[in-house]
Structure 1
């Protein structure tokens, strides 16, 4: 690491220069607050607008003072010096790192107000509907003081309600809702149907989660089509296959394949000659592999839960149900078949966009998070964003203990229970961060057997999360939670009302325990940051075993020989070095996956820009009619009696229908190509190069095919004063569309899970 000290020093010095300037401006602003307090609301708003005239902030100190006065007056919140400093860094377009509990919500609202006063429309990007709605209402009095409008967009709003909300100056919305509205707007056939108004600024909360961890998650718009699952016979046959005999799981836990013996067994039981024959490889083998993936790699209560007869995926990064998330259709329906559920409707993909593509549509992107520094490289590489670290308002008093490392998972889990028992006996509140639902429930059951009452927060009950988190700092409280990233509620010592604060402070504050290291240090730090907010005392401690996934996968090319103590604990320095090494390897693996996926996605993202421009041109001009009339002049002449507006609208609908259909076909084809690219790669050509070659060739054909098909429809479809009768020709758009997020990395983020199954971890 020493070799790179010069780099980090250079990065730090640049950031420090920026922060020194910001600190100076904040100090100047604080001298103005008393004077500005004498102004009424209207005068204060006028003064702020003067500072932001001409589309830029000219007097930042006065502007900050105006914001501070309004925040105190309308919200009862006086911004700390560091909060005002953070506002300035956001307005400069940085990603700011602020510790948990330092007041990011107010900072975001103040910065959004600054952007809006300079004439920019702002999307404040949240991680869920609850936070979007809560923060918009909470910050509304501040925003409206300056004559600006604010609204939230959540999943339950109608198209008209969304349209109205997007007309505001500042819009709070979950990232997935913003993306889905972009996709739906790309299916319209007239401008009046547009819902979203483009924004100038994306101010992203939990920026590292949205911009890095989930950047390549595809958002999908689909048209209904019955899902195709493995047949009952295939599911039944695969359910009886034996690990290490009929199939094997890859070392990384992400792949599974039949052995020769397993293939022969499947062939025998299905009554076919060969799974790999031409007639079976594209149908039967695909379904067998999907059923095998569902059986061996996707585990109930770790990767998904069953709720009221419905399969619900668990977002590994947040430890909660991902309401709008699906695996690709074949895998989704394979798991449903495995669980004996009714196979859900699949859907023809109409359009898709990754979160990274979505964010790159904004001219200005900035953000806030508690763990930005570790993501500096990715933020710079993919978004050209800089990180500014904002000091804490009060010094950190939390004690971060050395990890406790054990030889086996069983020994580690016994130690976790004992430590919780010891802390609970003193009355100190304890928050335990687990990695999956099964683990959280097993731990809670083990503690309750000891007479310890436990609040459990996991994917099965996250609607109660605000109440459970608010109570987690209360005296004698034990809270067991899956991932704490993006929970959005601060943990106050002494409970939600702080009534027992002094008693909890005397006991050492909130103790945070991690049941394993995560695959990235950022997630460890997000959990750690729940303790020690605003100068509170606290404790953080992680437990690790050599059987944990992060150690097994990160250390598979290394070896460690050390003698454990009688309780299985390992305390040698080289043990701690080895654990750190394993985590760095896991982080590297995730980065490699990200880099490779980005390469595959980037070309499609570039092609989407071309499609978007073509679509906008067809929507906003008469080009559709001009092109069709030029290609089929006789048919155009036959329509002279049809009103000009109807002719243009009909041509537009025809051209857009076939453009959208061709794009959907292209996405489906390239998805198939990507799945089989290692088989398609020829000679010594790299798979990514072959993928790009196919994508470029097919995209050229897409454009021509869309026009040719539109001309053919123009020649045959009935067109009158009401437009083109597409339905009568079997060319109707899907009667129903729906949205979901594709979880194409179902094993990412697992911690203590055992691929072959899990049960009674803490007994």
Structure 2
């Protein structure tokens, strides 16, 4: 491993040296004597070369020197050498790690300009709408001086506004909205209705958040159905009557919850449903499991908030409301029932794609973030993208103090409040990063009760984000925030006005305090990276306790011998071994989560290939490159009759829309079938089979059936037309894209139960067996071809 790491570091440094050499060549070019018009003429000459096939590598020195001069003339900035080297790396399709405050937004303009010259389109994929608009408008003068058009996409825009933005040479858009626009294209019927531009080149901002943390979240486009969940209230009443000590149990890490034998009997009696695990009770079982999960594992103001009469999910990585994101339908409905809200109509999914697979559509890909190295193997394996670490323009003066570890939360918060009081008395600005809305609210109350005024930034007021963050560096400021991933706004010492900067520097700069460690080391590093920008002084420290969620959830306290476990005390623990054990387990957790994401990626490969196949077929039909001969070959009499009544153009449109309609209907049903297959895929563990192999083989078989179903559905419609069950006009009216759709993200945890940490196959067998008991297992798996009773006793006896 060390040897591999050594090779990686050597290769990276060699690359950086080559980029720095190119940066030096760019700096030798002097364009100060040229007028703006002459700059534009030079840019147009480069554009012609690019259109004639000259590569961006051949144009890089002259192109980047033009951008550098344009930056100086429009924004008044001097471009740092490290920014130029980083820009060269981006143009070379690399993922750069640049620390916070080093100017990633400006750096991205260089490769965006150069790759826009070929007129194939460049997308800069940002984390939120605010950043997309801000960065586009901020950088727009640079592009316009060089004759390049720039636009930005917002979720609220009309189709025409989006088409105009995508039609620009450079488009700033969130990765999610770009993905949704791709999905909208995949259900349209006419070429002129297509929204999205080409997938030529993408530069991803906050790349680790988009490509790693949110990569497997499916983006969904759906149409409302009339189906209502009438059973949810009754099911929830049954679930809330269960005894937490005897009726259900959680897995080792609190990620899943299971009914026990006694709990199942209680549910069966309360719902009068007979054997809950019989096939006819599958939907009811799903509702029970969803209600139990919502009741036991999901916490208000931690996992979700209630706003405007709706359940809104909180993003675990950013602490912000995950706009338009839903849990799977059953769990979403269970939460709405839990909070006494209207259970909204369940949607029928038309199509979906994960961010991971959407990003892979781009021919050329580069990215930038402040924390990439910790996930370098994932970036390499899944995206085949190499990381280049860009040194800071000025050496960091940040001091990362050792973590304080307390025996309990009460001692931690008391010490933290005292620390804030002491530091705040000097005027040194403080930023406190918390893990949840609940914690941020609680801590703010404690500070206010101690006479300390503070600003709070969490999912309940995230619309005030920019204003709060930009004031976090002023003299005397205390800001409490949920974690800072993807915030995208620099904290300037002294605020935007730069007031009292020298005084704040003399105090040590911005003091960042973390109240919890996260499962991902990158999240902790992003919080630390909020201070010490551009050589400024800065200070960080984490206050953690042995009662924190991360430590309790993963049983870190179990690693420490009971004889060495300290009693409750107010002071932090002095033994550094506690910090070492906690850091060790945090690294193990991050590695396990990375393994989980890679496994989940394998489960999505076949389905994504099938989705792309269907998308390509639809595009071929829309563009008129697909010949449909069913009508002429299988229904010649009907075909002749239609030719007498309608024009050739009307018949061709009818055939096209009929096929598109049935493709969409069958694909939607196929996705529902795949979801059902995935829900039950863990059963293959009990059969001694590899779930991934079974899943992939099943999808291949089902996809063949899908193709047949599409053809049969089309023929069925022609038969209805032939037999006058439906008229040409009635079918034409039906064969249209849905008028009203809605988009959302699904937090899909259906595979976590057997791929998650600690849930290896044998462990899963034992946990399922012990949780539900032999009787229910026999009922649940009655159709499977192995002796569940013998397997159950064999495993239990072995344990």
TM-score range, shorter chain: over 0.9
**Residue 29 (str. 1) matches residue 5 (str. 2):** no
Match among 654, 659, 662 for residue 666 of structure 2: 662
Q: Which residue of 2 aligns with 1:593?
A: 596
The alignment's C-alpha RMSD in Å is 2.2
Distance in 1 (alpha carbons) for counterparts of 2:196 and 2:320: 28
Query: What are structure 1's unaligned runs of at least 5 residues?
Result: 749-763
Report the Cα distance in structure 1 between the residues aligned to 2:456 and 2:217, rounded to whole angstroms: 28
* 8 Å contact from structure 1 (residues 624, 652) kept in 2: no
Q: What are the equivalent positions in structure 2 for 1:443-462 lying under 5 Å apart?
A: 443-462=443-462
Note the C-alpha offset of 1:681: 5.9
In 2, are the aligned partners of 1:635 and 1:715 still within 8 Å (CA)? no
Asked if 1:46 corresponds to 2:49, the answer is no
Which residue of 598, 608, 613 maps to 1:610? 613
State the Cα distance separating 1:277 from its structure 2 match: 3.8
Give the Cα separation in 2 of the matches to 1:724 and 1:104.
57
CA contact (8 A) 1:494 1:503 kept: no
C-alpha displacement of 1:47: 2.6
Rounded to whole Å, the distance in 1 between the matches of 2:730 and 2:37 is 55
Assess if the C-alpha contact under 8 Å between 2:401 and 2:541 holds in 1.
yes
Check 1:346–1:317 CA distance in 2 against 1; reply closer, same or farther (3 A cut). Answer: same
Name the SS for the 2:559 alignment partner: coil
Aligned residue in 1 for 2:323? 323
78-87 vs 550-559, greater mean Cα deviation: 550-559
* Residues 327 and 748, structure 2, Cα contact 8 Å, conserved in 1: yes
Q: Which residue of 1 aligns with 2:780?
A: none
**Residues 45/309 of structure 1: CA separation in 2 closer, same or farther (3 Å cut):** same
SS where residue 138 of structure 1 aligns? helix
Distance 1:23 1:501 in 2: 32
Partner of 1:584: 587
Match of 1:623 in 2: 626
Displacement of 1:329 after TM fit?
0.8
Aligned twin of 1:364? 364
Larger displacement relative to structure 2 (672-681 or 559-568): 559-568
Aligned 1:144-543 pairs, distance under 5 A? 144-226=144-226, 228-229=228-229, 230-279=231-280, 281-543=281-543
Structure 1 range deviating more: 588-597 or 616-625: 616-625
What is the CA distance between 1:651 and its match in structure 2? 0.3
Contact conserved, 1:51 with 1:60, CA < 8 A, in 2?
no
- Classify the secondary structure of the residue corresponding to 2:225: strand
Offset at residue 691 of structure 1 (A): 0.8
Q: Distance in 2 between matches of 1:318 and 1:670?
A: 30
CA displacement at 1:728 relative to structure 2: 7.7
Looking at structure 2, the residues matched to 633 and 67 of structure 1 have their Cα atoms a distance apart, in angstroms, of 63
More deviation, 617-626/211-220: 617-626
Change (3 A) 1:716 1:606: same
Task: Give how far 1:271 is off.
Answer: 3.5
Offset from partner CA, 1:551-597 (integer Å, 9 cap, x none): 23444595213354842522323222201111012112211221221
1:554/1:583 contact within 8 Å kept: no
Q: Which residue of 2 aligns with 1:756?
A: none
- Tell me the distance in 2 between the aligned counterparts of 1:683 and 1:285: 21
Tell me by how many angstroms 1:220 deviates: 0.2
Q: CA deviation at 1:291?
A: 1.0
1:637-676 pair list within 5 angstroms? 637-641=640-644, 642-676=646-680
| Residue equivalent to 1:758 | none
Distance 1:313 1:517 in 2: 21
Q: Please say if residues 647 and 719 of structure 1, whose CA atoms lie closer than 8 Å, have aligned partners that are also in contact.
A: no
Distance 1:728 1:43 in 2: 56
What residue is the counterpart of 1:16 in the other structure?
A: 13
SS in structure 1 at match of 2:115: helix
Q: Is the 8 A contact 2:188 2:737 kept in 1?
A: no
Please report how far the alpha carbon of residue 50 of structure 1 lies from its aligned counterpart in structure 2 after TM superposition: 4.2
Name the residue aligned to 2:776: none
Which sections of structure 2, spanning at least 5 residues, go unmatched? 754-799
Counterpart-to-counterpart distance in 2, 1:292 and 1:452: 40
Alignment-derived partner of residue 769 in structure 2: none
The answer on whether the counterparts of 1:407 and 1:564 sit within 8 Å (CA) in structure 2 is yes
* Superimposed CA distance per residue, residues 158-213 of structure 1 (whole angstroms, 9 cap, x where no aligned partner): 11111111111100001111011111111111211111121301110000111111
In 2, the alpha carbon distance for the partners of 1:726 and 1:470 equals 58
Query: Any conservation in 1 of the 2:199–2:361 contact (CA below 8 Å)?
Result: no
SS in 1 for 2:362: coil
Given that 2:44 and 2:147 are in contact with CA atoms closer than 8 Å, whether structure 1 keeps it comes out as no
Would the aligned equivalents of 1:719 and 1:725 in 2 still touch at CA under 8 Å? no
TM-superposed deviation, 1:731: 6.2
1:273 Cα offset (Å): 3.5
Contact residue 551 and residue 557 of structure 2 kept, 8 A: no
Cα displacement (A) at 1:41: 1.6
Q: Distance in 1 between matches of 2:119 and 2:625?
A: 32
Once residues 732 and 161 of structure 1 are traced to their aligned partners in structure 2, the CA distance between those partners, rounded to angstroms, is 23
1:267/1:273 contact within 8 Å kept = yes
Q: Which moved more, 1:727-736 or 1:693-702?
A: 727-736
The aligned counterpart of 1:97 is 97
Counterpart of 2:388 in 1: which secondary structure? Answer: strand
CA shift, 1:496, in A, is 2.1
Shift of residue 498 of structure 1?
Answer: 1.0
TM-score normalised over the length of structure 1: 0.93
SS in structure 2 opposite 1:261? helix
Matched residue of 1:220: which SS? strand
The answer to whether the Cα contact below 8 Å between 1:380 and 1:386 also exists between their aligned partners in 2 is yes
Return the match for 1:692 from 696, 710, 727: 696
SS of corresponding position for 2:643: coil
Q: After superposing the two structures, state which structure 1 stretch, 550-559 or 254-263, moved more.
A: 550-559
1: CA distance, partners of 2:442 / 2:165: 44
* Structure-1 residue corresponding to 2:575: 572
- Alpha-carbon deviation of 1:738? 0.5
1:309-332, Cα deviation, whole Å (9 max, x unpaired) = 111111111110111100111110
Q: How far apart, in 2, do the equivalents of 1:317 and 1:598 lie?
A: 19
Q: Could you tell me how far apart the structure 1 residues matched to 2:315 and 2:394 are?
A: 33
Which moves more between the two structures, 142-151 or 267-276? 267-276
CA-to-partner distance for each residue in 1:373-400, whole Å, 9 max, x for gaps?
1111111101110111111011100100
- Does the CA contact (< 8 Å) of 1:121 and 1:199 recur in 2? yes
CA gap of 1:149–1:267, structure 2 versus 1, over 3 A, is same
Quote how far apart the aligned CAs of 1:724 are.
5.0
Give the match's secondary structure for 1:311: strand
Pairwise CA distance, 1:55: 3.5
How far apart in 1 are the matches of 2:302 and 2:173? 28
Deviates more, 1:650-659 or 1:734-743: 734-743
Paired residues of 2:654 and 2:732 also in contact (CA < 8 A): no
Asked whether the 8 Å contact 2:302–2:436 carries over to 1, the reply is yes
Query: Aligned equivalents of 2:260 and 2:197: distance in 1?
Result: 54
Which range moves more in the overlay, 213-222 or 732-741? Answer: 732-741
SS at match of 2:311: strand
Matched, 1:701 2:705: yes
CA positional deviation for 1:233: 2.0
> Compared with structure 1, are the counterparts of its residues 207 and 454 closer, same or farther at alpha carbon in structure 2 (3 Å cutoff)?
same
- Map Cα deviations across residues 522-564 of structure 1 (whole Å, 9 max, x no partner): 1111000000001110101112222223223444595213354
